[in-house]
Amino acid sequence: MNVLLIGGGGREHALAEVLLASPTLGRLQVAPGNPGMADHRIDLDVADHGAVVARALRDGVDLVVVGPEAPLVDGLADALRDAGLAVLGPSAAAARLEGSKAFTRRIASEAGVPQPASATFVDTQSASAWLDEFARPVVVKADGLAAGKGVIIPETRAETDAAIAEMLDGGSMGDAGRTVVLEERMTGPELSLFALCDGTRAVSLGVARDHKRVGDGDTGPNTGGMGAFSPVPGVTEVDEQHYLATFVDPVLKVMAERGTPYVGVLYVGLMLTDEGPKLVEFNCRLGDPEAQVVLPLLADDAVALFAAVAAGRAPTSVGRRPGHAATVVACAEGYPAAPRKGVPIPTVPEATDELRVFHAGTAVHGDRLVSAGGRVLAVTGLAEDLDGALERAYAVIDELTGDGLFARSDIGGRMTTETTTGNETDGAGEPDAYARAGVSFEAGESAVERIAARVGATHDDRVVAGVGSFGGVYDVSSLGLDQPLLVSSTDTCGTKTVLAAQVGHWDGIGADIVNHGVNDVLVQGARPLFMLDTISAGSLSVDVVDAVVGSMATACVENGCVLLGGETAEVPGLIHTGQVDVAGTMVGVVDRSALLPRADIRAGDVLLGLESNGLHTNGYSLARTVVAELGADHAIDGDDLPLGLALLRPHRSYLAPLAAALDGGKVKALAHLTGGGFPDNIPRCLPDGLGAEVDTTAWPTPPLFQLLVDHIGLGRDEAHRVFNMGIGMVVVVAPGDVDAVTAAIDEPVHVIGSVTSEVGVTLR
């Protein structure tokens, strides 16, 4: 088959390569192409659709593959199809899924695709009124194609208003911005899925993750993409099928029903949010540089595959090579604002099974290869694992960069700074990986020693084996209980750690996870025995691990339990560089006779509330949106800490204040206020058939909560589901025991409600 390939970037060089490898290929022509495909370039103005059609018919082209979005949005595929030619690429009507963000949101909504809240505006006044109402951070998008410049992520309301005004004025975005789409700002790792769509069915070509910011650590302005890798650790083929079924199939159905079936590659940009994957965007083509990692892993005959899809016969699966691909883009200095042209490019190595060098913004001047665009070359490494692939790509990138060319040094979460350690360390943890990352084992070991000392300081003589052993061993024989029951609870700090990373304050994060676990086992009447933790990070910082483990150890000692062991995992690619996930499991013990909740809870029993000292470990995804708007330094009237640090106050433990009351035997039940607030947590400790009534005015709302609720504009019921609103633990007692229990608790106790014979929780 003769194939005409339209486009001239790195993506098209990668397409050319898989087309050239196909046994089905007759002749390949590329327009405009680039020096990487010199032998196949033809002289053809791709903006002149009539000329492209005429040339394709004259040269006996059997299949046209269109790489970039602009000609598709412009209707090139329509012109070719009208002339009876087979095309891999959507019609102009279908390419609106990339060409108009407002259209995408409408179609996605019709198709029932999970997506952020959004609204479309053509005037600033209506946009402003919507923002007043919405009161959460947004992303501002120009409706039309804007060559990667149409998305602004403002930090404040003032920046949001300015971005909208500039777009609507037709400023830097021109006509693309005459309509703006405002979208709820989502957080989470991004993922791109590439679906080959034949009009009614889709098959996955693979998934990739790219790095859009120009600088290391995801800093600086957005670019077209500085590097990418495929597959994405943690994303299985089952996930891919799920994403196809959720995001692609229903959209294909809607597009077909509208009479504009989608044929071509659909790029599905997803954000993996706390609430599940949501649609960021659709693009009507392969990603660049994602194509440079997805295509080299294609095992099937590309010409046959693309032709079948173009003819409405997508296969049910696509063969992929085992292993991983990672690409790093070498850019011309000044990219993205004003890339230097004419930078000489050193000789690039030949392609091998383990390495590809794809041309993008290159040109030949005389006999020299020079830069002619921002993204100049994409170097793809292939290996059994991601680390190996990155290593191969960087071996070349390190040679290319320096003199007028630069690249990010942390693609794929590649470690560049001093890292490592913990009571056990793994992830990319073979010695080689650390050596490559410039990590000194001596530094690692001294950090291990530091942490081991902190952990060891929590141990008592019940610890038989701790740090360094495969399993922690704890001796329960001396507990002296008649019928000891072990109680366990596991949890994470959730996205509180994202705020800790933002504010650079880790000192309380360990206490958070310990105290959360202590409170959970306490609710069953148990006292904590030992804790096991996991700290996972994209790139481990000794100081962060030290601060977190140190704070865990201190909290364990305060609660009379031990930090028996843990895991410190470096998982680049799975967790963004700079982010840390902290999880822990607490094991406690209770004698069967003291197990809570008791069975004798009755309607009329009283609910006592103990105060919280902040958000504890819940509601941070929402609270962070307020930090994004007001800033971490924002002063709170009535609180001695600014917003960021007030939100980072460690979750308090209720063991000490409740110990005497529990020993007194009059506490019938406890409920720890975690996610879901009163409505979700009080019923967890009540027998079937009973409910509760809570008087939400029975205690003062702490200033921090007042600020969050006012700023976000939350109603009472919603506020009490997302946040604890000032009460962190509920104690259930008989009416006659209120005084005795209150007297046994050495801190403010609020009578906040009662147990009722009506199921559910009523807030008053």
Nearest to 511 by CA among 646, 652, 611: 652
Total of chain residues touching ligand GLY, rule CB under 6 A: 7
Position 224 contacts ligand GLY (CB under 6 A) = yes
Encoded tokens for 454: 């902190």
Distance CA 623, CA 374 (A): 38
What gap in Å lies between CA 640 and CA 718, rounded to an integer?
26
Of residues 90 and 225, the one with the C-beta less far from ligand GLY: 225
Strands annotated E in 447-517: 463-465, 473-474, 484-492
Helices H / strands E in the chain, number of each: 25, 34
Least gap, CB of 148 to ligand GLY (angstroms): 7
Q: Which is nearer to ligand GLY, 11 or 459 (CB)?
A: 11
> Residues 719, 732: contact at Cβ < 8 Å?
no
Find the shortest distance in angstroms from Cβ 31 to ligand GLY.
20
Report 225-244 residues binding ligand GLY (CB under 6 A): 225
CB of 225 to ligand GLY, least distance (A): 3
How many other CB atoms sit within 10 Å of the CB of residue 336? 18
| Stretch of 84-92, 282-290, 687-695, 749-757 contacting ligand GLY, by CB under 6 A | 282-290
Q: Which stretch, 281-289, 550-558, 707-715, 755-763, contacts ligand GLY (CB under 6 A)?
A: 281-289
- Contact indicator for 482, 493 with CB cutoff of 8 Å: no
Residue 115 phi, psi (nearest 5): -155, 165
Task: Find where tokens 């994957």 sit.
Answer: 277
Please compute, for residue 419, the number of CA atoms within 13 A of its CA located in the half-sphere on the CB side. Answer: 30
Nearer to ligand GLY, 228 or 627 (CB): 228
In the bound state with ligand GLY, the residue whose beta carbon lies nearer, of 192 and 568, is 192
How far apart are CB 98 and ligand GLY at their closest, in Å?
Answer: 9
Tell me the backbone φ, ψ of residue 414, rounded to 5 degrees. -55, 135
Tell me whether residue 224 or residue 472 sits nearer to ligand GLY (CB atom).
Answer: 224
Measured CA to CA, the distance from residue 649 to residue 745 in angstroms comes to 22
User: What minimum distance in Å lies between the beta carbon of 87 and ligand GLY?
Assistant: 20
By CB under 6 A, tell whether 89 contacts ligand GLY. no
Binding of ligand GLY at residue 99 (CB under 6 A)? no
**Which residue number, 153 or 304, has a Cβ lying nearer to ligand GLY?**
153
CB of 291 to ligand GLY, least distance (A): 8
CA torsion, ordered 647, 653, 656, 658, to nearest 10 deg: 100
Q: How far is the CB of 621 from ligand GLY (least distance, A)?
A: 25
The two tokens of residue 29 are 């022509």
- Rule CB under 6 A: say whether 98 interacts with ligand GLY: no
| Cα–Cα distance for residue pair 98/92, rounded to 1 Å | 10
Close Cβ partners of 81 (under 8 Å, ≥ 6 residues apart): 87, 91
Of 58-66, 285-293, 437-445, 576-584, the window that binds ligand GLY (rule: CB under 6 A) is 285-293
Cβ at position 287, least distance to ligand GLY in Å: 3
Contact region with ligand GLY (CB under 6 A), list: 19-27, 280-288, 374-382, 737-745: 280-288
7 binds ligand GLY per the rule CB under 6 A: no
* Torsion sign (Cα): 65, 67, 71, 75: positive
Beta bridge partners of 568: 425, 535
Peptide bond into 597 cis (omega under 30): yes
Under 8 Å between Cβ of 9 and 67: yes
CA distance 18 to 326: 17
Counting Cβ atoms within 10 Å, is residue 230 exposed (0-12), middle (13-18) or buried (19+)? buried
| Residue 283 engages ligand GLY in binding (rule: CB under 6 A) | yes
Check binding of 9 to ligand GLY (CB under 6 A).
no
Q: Which amino acid is at 58?
A: R
Question: Closest CB to ligand GLY among 190 and 567?
Answer: 190
Residue 90 or 609: the one with the smaller Cβ distance to ligand GLY is: 90
- Cβ closest to ligand GLY, residue 326 vs residue 370: 326
418-to-414, 443, 446, 447, 490 alpha-carbon distances in Å: 12, 8, 13, 11, 30
528 binds ligand GLY (CB under 6 A): no
Is 613 exposed, middle or buried (CB count within 10 Å of its CB: 0-12, 13-18, 19+)? middle
- CB 289 → ligand GLY: shortest distance, Å? 6
Taking only Cα atoms into account, the Rg of the chain, rounded to an integer number of angstroms, comes to 30
Q: Binding residue for ligand GLY (CB under 6 A) from 17, 240, 288, 611?
A: 288
Q: How far is the CB of 267 from ligand GLY (least distance, A)?
A: 7
Residue 202 beta carbon to ligand GLY: minimum distance, rounded to whole angstroms? 19
Q: Which stretch binds ligand GLY (CB under 6 A): 17-25, 111-119, 287-295, 433-441?
A: 287-295
CB-based closest residue to ligand GLY = 225
Q: How far is the CB of 335 from ligand GLY (least distance, A)?
A: 14
For ligand GLY, the binding residues in 194-223 under the rule CB under 6 A are 210
Out of 290, 300, 520, 611, the only residue in the binding site for ligand GLY (CB under 6 A) is 290
CA proximity to 392, closest of 400, 401, 382, 402: 382
Nearest residue (CB) to ligand GLY, 225 versus 753: 225
Closest CB to ligand GLY among 150 and 650?
150
Q: Report in angstroms how near the CB of residue 178 gets to ligand GLY at its nearest.
A: 22
Binding site for ligand GLY (CB under 6 A): 210, 224-225, 283, 287-288, 290
